[in-house]
């Protein structure tokens, strides 16, 4: 946890996710990649975030999340999204560090490198569906401030993960901390090219939704992503940059990002015949 971009260590994520038993304690070196966003200026007034994502190709032992930190405590925050076991079973998860209480269908405390609460649900991931993640501040009581997590299928089901309480000071999100994260945390493999291949496409996050409308006070701009040359895969003596690629992506007319992760360099492109599902 040397800086903000490193505080979602794989071990922490696994513990907070409920400790998937199929996941090995060993890690593929440098097996993570980020997509960054910019809301402009020093924005620290975010009270809700919506983001549409498309997991165009899921993979086992992998994770795809939205993450953030608090304006009052840049070293801590939370994350929200999906992960899979080694056999490909998926769950949705919403977790906050330094939380003291939660309400929801399936919420529990976690410990290890940091403590907090996590809410999660078994989930059937589909590459034919665009999902909207909704994070929102919901209420304040004597014990602190509550944040909730919901997932919406485009034109389909809605899923409520739960609400989690943190200290009252954690009532706003730092705009510059909002980013996306893709990782492989499965068993170590002999070659980097054997890391299961996944594709995550991202629309720019939108913040401070106005009432029940689909209008937002803030929309982020793409701000690059992890550099493969700065994150070499050192397994199997392969060349740098073989593990991932982060590049611009046209997300229904919005300037989004796409993260290709695992597989070979030749796979780091949209497969023929695969296209963003129609969205409203």
Residues in the chain: 280
Q: Evaluate whether residue 183 is within a structural domain.
A: yes
**What pLDDT digit, counting tens, does each position of 101-138 carry?**
999 999 999 987 689 999 999 999 999 999 999 999 99
pLDDT category, 242, cuts 50, 70, 90? Answer: low
Residue 29 confidence (pLDDT): 53
d(CA 197, CA 263): 5
Q: How many domains does the chain have?
A: 1
**What pLDDT digit, counting tens, does each position of 192-229 carry?**
888 899 999 999 999 999 888 889 999 999 999 998 87
DSSP one-letter string for the chain: --SGGGSS-HHHHHHHTT--TTS-S---TT-EEEEEEE-SSS---B-EEEEEEEEEE--TTEEEEEEEEBSS-TT-EEEEEEEE-TT--EEEEEEEET--EEESSSEEEE-SSS-EEEEEEEE---TT--EEEEEEEEEEETTEEEEEEEEEETTS-EEEEEEEEE-TT--SB-GGG-EEEEEE-S---SSGGGSPPEEEEEPPPEEEE-TTSS-EEEE-EEEEE--GGGS---STTPPTT-SEEEEEEEETTEEEEEEEESS-GGG-SPPTT--PPP--
pTM of the entire structure? 0.88
Q: Evaluate whether residue 274 is within a structural domain.
A: no
Q: Evaluate whether residue 94 is within a structural domain.
A: yes
Residues 6+ apart with CB under 8 A from 14: 20, 23, 185
Give me the domain span that covers residue 115: 4-267
Q: Evaluate whether residue 131 is within a structural domain.
A: yes
What mean pLDDT do residues 18-37 have? 58
Q: Evaluate whether residue 203 is within a structural domain.
A: yes
Q: Evaluate whether residue 236 is within a structural domain.
A: yes
Q: Evaluate whether residue 20 is within a structural domain.
A: yes
Q: Evaluate whether residue 44 is within a structural domain.
A: yes
């Amino acid at each position: 946890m040397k800086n903000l971009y490193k505080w979602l260590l794989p071990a922490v994520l696994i513990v907070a996710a409920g400790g998937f038993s199929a996941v090995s304690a060993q890690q593929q070196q440098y097996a993570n990649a980020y997509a960054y966003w910019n809301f402009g200026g020093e924005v620290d007034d975010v009270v809700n975030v919506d983001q549409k994502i498309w997991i165009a190709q899921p993979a086992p032992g992998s994770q795809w999340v939205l993450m953030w930190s608090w304006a009052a405590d840049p070293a801590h925050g939370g994350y929200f999204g999906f992960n899979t076991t080694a056999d490909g079973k998926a769950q949705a998860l919403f977790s906050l560090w330094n939380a003291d209480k939660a309400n929801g269908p399936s919420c529990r405390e976690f410990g290890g490198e940091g403590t907090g609460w996590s809410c999660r649900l078994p989930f059937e991931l589909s590459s034919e569906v665009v999902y909207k993640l909704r994070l929102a501040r919901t209420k304040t009581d004597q014990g602190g401030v509550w944040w909730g997590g919901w997932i919406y299928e485009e034109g389909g089901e809605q899923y409520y993960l739960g609400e989690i309480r943190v200290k009252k000071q954690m009532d706003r999100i730092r705009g510059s901390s909002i980013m996306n994260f893709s990782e492989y945390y499965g068993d170590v493999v002999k070659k980097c090219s054997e890391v299961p291949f996944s594709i995550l496409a991202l629309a720019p996050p939108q913040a401070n939704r106005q009432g029940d409308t689909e209008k937002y006070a803030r929309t982020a701009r793409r701000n690059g992503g992890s550099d493969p040359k700065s994150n070499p895969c050192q397994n199997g003596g392969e060349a740098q940059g073989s593990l991932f690629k982060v590049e611009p992506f046209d997300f229904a007319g919005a300037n989004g990002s796409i993260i290709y992760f695992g597989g070979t360099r030749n796979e780091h492109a949209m497969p023929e015949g695969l296209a963003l599902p129609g969205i409203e």
